[in-house]
Structure 1
Amino acid sequence: MKRIMVLVLTGLLLMGSAISAPVSAQSDRGATARAKAAERLEAAKLKVCQKKEAAIQKRSEQLVKMATNMQTKFTAIASRVKEYYADNVVGTANELTNYDELLTAIADKQ
């Protein structure tokens, strides 16, 4: 009877150590899975951030391009108005007394 008890207790002890090994292995797998998930999350966050950065950069470049285009168009309009004024208005009754002041104001604002 004692021998059976010893065998049973020994078996339980062995089973206990066998059971605890898979639990620790599961714990390691869980930690590994959590680490991989955290790594994937960081990679996804980085990718989103890079896309936002690219969008902001593109918007900034387009804004500079638009401002340059506007500057070019306004300069062209001002030169055509100067030509028209010099060719058609100077010497008539419609000539402006403050025309030179207006030209300097346009040049200052550019």
Structure 2
Amino acid sequence: MSDTPTINGARLMQRIAELGQFGALPGGGTNRLALSDADRAARDWTVQQMRTLDMDVEIDAIGNVFATYAGTADLPPRGHWQPHRHRAHRRPVRRQLWRAGGAGSGGHAA
């Protein structure tokens, strides 16, 4: 079994396209200003995707989203961006640690 993560390219592109619908502009691109309805909807969608994957989702007082995926072995973390937020018994998501910043996403307590 390889320890190298693999990426399903088609699924990744589908998720990027789905996320791009929030704040989509008529001529292409997106516009999601912080604290806008589109920003809130995009973060809500992202948190839902994380929870669907059984990730542990935490949202701090100003709305930063931190998600970790429990590992299957008691190993040290492979890397992390918020060492003060990391739990010793959990590993960050191998594929990526999601972090969506900004205030206003309250009500998502894990």
Give the TM-score category using the shorter length.
Answer: under 0.3
More helix by share: 1
Q: TM-score, normalised by structure 2?
A: 0.22
More strand by share: 2
